[in-house]
Amino acid sequence: MSNLPPPPPPPPPGRGQHNGPQPPTKRAGGWPRWALPVILAVLVGLLLFNQLWPSDDGENLSYTEFIAKVEADQVAEFTLTNGSNTISGELTDGSKFRTTVRDNFPDQTERDLLAEHNVDWSTKEPDSNWLLSWISLLLPFLLIIGFLVWMNRRAQGQMGNVMSIGRSRAKAYSADKPSTTFADIAGYDGVKQEITEVVDFLRMPERFREIGARVPKGILLVGPPGTGKTLFARAVAGEAGVGFLSVTGSDFMEMFVGVGASRVRDLFAQARKLGRAIIFIDEIDSIGRKRGAGLGGGHDEREQTLNQMLSEMDGFETSEGIVILAATNRPDILDPALLRPGRFDRQIVVPLPEAAEREAILKVHSRDKRMGSDVDLETMAKATPGMSGADLANVVNEAALFAVRRGSKQIERIDFENARDRVVMGARRESLVLTAEEKRATAVHESGHAILTVVLPNADPLHKVSILPRGMALGVTWSLPEERHTYSKEYFEDTICRAMGGRVAEKIVFGHLNSGAANDLEQATSIARRMVREWGMSEAIGPMAWSGHQQVFLGEDLMTQGREYSDTTAKTIDDEIARILHHQERRAHELLTKHRTALDSVSETLLEKETMDGAEVARIVHESLGDRTEAPAGVD
C-alpha cells in the first residue's frame, strides 16, 4: 500500500525512406543477377539438344508391326543400336522407319526369319554426346575454380569491413529532406530562441560577421529524459537548411583500440566537406565522462575518443561553420574541458514542462485524434504535474486505446482520466483478489493517508483515493502537487506526517501493524534524511550539507574517499532523522485520533465504493466535526 503515486514510467523510447526506381543490382565483379540463370539454361538446352531437336527418322512402328512387315517382304534393311534396343531402317518402298525391340534381339528364330526374307541388318554403338563428355572432364576443375573465386570474394568482403571500421557511422540528412520543425514543438520558447540563433548563423553567417559576433561552437541540451532534447535536434535538421549529421555516443566505441578516435576524425572530415553543417551527438555522456576518473588509465579507449573530440572541436585546426549539438541528462559527469568556452559554449536546459506548456504539448499530440466535446486539455494539463513531453504523448495514446476498448468513436474525458491513472499509478490488477481482512486493512490504511492530506495545512491537494490494486500497490491515495520550484520545511514535515498516516491508522483501528507501510516508511525516511543531510533543516546539524548521491560511474579517489563527517556527526544525523520520523508519527496519531469518526466513515465508504474523490473525503471530514459549510484547503 502506498500513500504516494509511483513515479511516471520512463518514456518509451527516426525516419528514413527512399523513393523512386532502384538501379539494377549487380553481383561482386560486375555480373548482373540474371547472368547465372541464363548460363544454366543454355547448358541444359545443349544437354537435351538431341531430344529436343526434331529428327526425321520416319514412321514409328511397334515390334509386332515390324515383324509383320518383315514377313511381308517390306523391310529392305535396318540398323540395330546396341544398348538402346532401337532400330532405324528402310522399307522396300524407300520410306524410313524406327522401332524399339526387346532385349537380346535378334534370337535364333528372328535371325532365321530375317535371313529367309533377305533383310540386311547390322549393329552399331550408340552415338556419344560430346557435351556430356567434356562436362564430365571439366566439372572437377570448374568446382575448384568456383571455390577459389568464392573464397577470394569472401576475403575481399572481410577486408573491406576491417578497412571501414574506423569510418563514422553518422547518418547524413540533406537540407531538402522533410523533417520535424520548430512548429511541431509546443512550448519551450526560450530554448527555441537560443537554438534558432545557431540556425540563423548557418543560414546567414554574414549578418553575424558584420558586427563581429561569433556563433557558439557547441550547444549542450541538458534535461530529464523525455523532455524532447532529441526532438529539438530533429527540428534543427528541418530548419537549418544545411548538412546535418546525427550520431550517438555509443557509435564511437568498438572493441578495437583507436577506433573511436578514428571515427571522430572521420565525422568531422565529413562535416568539413559539407562546408556549413550541424553535428548532433546524442547521449554524449557515454564518451564525454571525466578523464582520469575511471580505472582504465590514459590508454582507455573512451579517453582517447574524448581527447580526439576535444582536439577536433577546438584544437589547432579550427572547424569554422561546424556546430556541435549534443544531448545528455547527466551533465555532472562530463569532462570540464568539454564544457569550457570554445567547445560547448552554451548549455541549454530543457526542463519538465509547466502547466501552459503541458497544455500546448497535449494539443500537439491530440490534433490528429478525434476528441469528444467534454475533453478539457487545460484541466488535464493541470492534473499531470511533473510529466515530460513523452509522458504526455503516452497519456494521449493510452486515452485513445481506452476509447477503442469502450467501443467509442471518439476520445472522451473518462478515457483521459483512465489513461492518466494508468500512466501515474499503473494498470489495474483485475486478477488480484483480496480477502475481506486485507481489503478492510487497505481501506483503513488509505483512509489515514486521505484524511491527513485533507487536514494538514501544507499538504498537496487530495485528488482521489482508491483501494483498487494498481501496479505494485494494493491501494493509492493520489494528490496533485501544485506548481512550485522551492519547498519549505513545513511542507516536508507534512509530507512525512501524511506518509505515516496509513501505518498509524492501522495501529489505531486494529491495534497492530502489518507490512503494507513499507513503501511509506521508505519515502518518509528518504525525505527526513535529505532534510538533515542536504537541506540544512535540522537545528542540531545546522547549516551543513553532504551530498546524498554518489557518482556511480566515476572512480575519483576510489580508494581514499571516505565518509565526509565524523562518527559523532553520523550519530547526530541518525538521531535527528529518528527524531523527525517519531515526531511526525506522533503528530499523525494525534490528528487521526481527533478525526476518528471521519476515519471510520471514509474507510466504510471506501469498502462500499472502492474509489472516492477529494471533495467527498473533505465533506466527510467536516461533517464529522459538525461543520457543513466550509471546505478544507487541502482538497483538489
Which residues are catalytic, by number?
A: 446
**CA-wise closest residue to 102 among 119, 114, 87, 85:** 85
H/E element, 88: strand 86-91
> Count of CB atoms within 10 A of residue 545's CB?
13
Alpha carbons 178 and 173: distance in angstroms, whole number: 9
The answer to whether the CB of 240 falls within 8 A of the CB of 199 is yes
The answer to whether the CB of 338 falls within 8 A of the CB of 326 is no
234: amino acid identity, one letter = R
Which residues is 59 bridged to in the sheet? Answer: 97
**Cell numbers for 44:** 541444359
**CA-wise closest residue to 242 among 325, 313, 312, 177:** 177
H/E element, 348: strand 346-349
H/E element, 124: strand 120-124
CA angle 275, 279, 284 (to 5 degrees): 155
Torsion 622-627-629-634 (CA) sign: negative
The two beta strands, 243-248 and 171-173, are: antiparallel
Q: Which residues contact 554 (CB under 8 A, 6 or more apart)?
A: 289, 290, 293, 294, 333
Helix spans in 7-56 (H): 35-47, 49-52
Alpha carbons 29 and 198: distance in angstroms, whole number: 46
Burial class (CB in 10 A: 0-12, 13-18, 19+), 139: exposed
